[in-house]
Structure formats: structure tokens, C-alpha cells
Amino acid sequence: MKAILISLALLGGLLPLSGCQREDVDEPLKLSGKIFIFNYRVAQATYVVTLARNGPLPEPSFVEARFENPAGGAALVTRTRIFPFWEKVSLESPPVHCVVKDRPYAISIRILDGEDKVIQTIETTLTSSLDQTIMPGKALVVGPVYAPNPEVYGADGTADYGKDQTCPAA
């Protein structure tokens, strides 16, 4: 009798835990971060998106990201192989221009297997808290040791931080 009561008590205690199973097993990767990076030294801005491993992926797997082009025109597309030992996947766009503060930009991410079959799709947006107008028109430094750019810093001590004037009106 005592064994039956103990068994019932254990069963009653474990039953609620059966509802604690992960419901997102069909999502092998989850969005864990996104930001615009403004690198004023080289006068470039990029999207950076981070995905966290949430489940198994077939080998090989790839991630294809489509970033809205802030300057207009075709989306910027990247494709990266996902290695089995990666717990996080970082995606970086090619350099972008004309980022406008408080405007949402679309990002579309597809996780693909080795035969390009879609495993997962992630749709999100990224809104910058800064305008691209904070960036100089040309890189401030050049080369591996960050030498001052002679196109910006003149021999006479003057500096030309001219802004990029090619962006469409916001």
C-alpha cells in the first residue's frame, strides 16, 4: 500500500512536467540579436544578425540572408555555411549606405540543407537609432595599421570630413 501511494505521488508530481517540453524543436536556430554597426574609421555601416543554436541541423547546412538595401535597389544577399560545432551563427551584410534613423529595414533569413531545401525561415526587421549622416564620406584611415587617409587629412594639416551626398531623400 505504501509503495502504491509513493508511486501515485511521484506520478502526480511528474505529470505537470510533461507539459514543459520544448515546443520550438522545428526551429533549429533562433534570432538572438541584431544591430547596425557604424564603423566611422572605415566609413562603413553593416547589418549584424546573430542566431543561437536551438536544435540539430543536417550536415551540411547553410544560412541565406537577404538584407533590405537602404540605398534602394536589389536586396543584399549573403550565404554562409553553418558548421556543426557552431553554437551561434553571426551574419553580416556587405557594407550599406543611406541608413535612416527610426526606419525599419527588412531582413529575411532562410536555413537550408545541403540540397537547398528550406529548413526554417526567419523574417524580421532592424531599426537603427542613428542616421548614416554621422559617418564621414571617406574612410578616415587606410591600411592594416590605420594610417591616416591622405584623401581626408591633407599635408597642410587640414581635414575634409565631407558627407556622402548620394543618398535619396528619406
Domain ranges in the chain?
Answer: 24-148
Angle CA 18–20–26, to nearest 5:
105
Tell me what pLDDT residue 167 has.
Answer: 77
Residues facing residue 105 across a β-bridge:
126
- The DSSP secondary structure of 21-65, one letter per residue, reads S-S-TT-SEEEEEEEEEEETTTTEEEEEEEEEE-S---SSEEEEE
Instruction: Please write the tens of the pLDDT for every residue from 126-146.
Output: 999 998 888 888 899 999 998
pLDDT of 22 higher than 50: no
Q: Which CATH architecture has domain 24-148?
A: Sandwich (2.60)
Tell me what pLDDT residue 159 has.
Answer: 85
Tell me what pLDDT residue 9 has.
Answer: 58
pLDDT of 16 higher than 70: no
Instruction: Please write the tens of the pLDDT for every residue from 79-110.
Output: 999 999 999 999 999 999 999 999 999 999 99
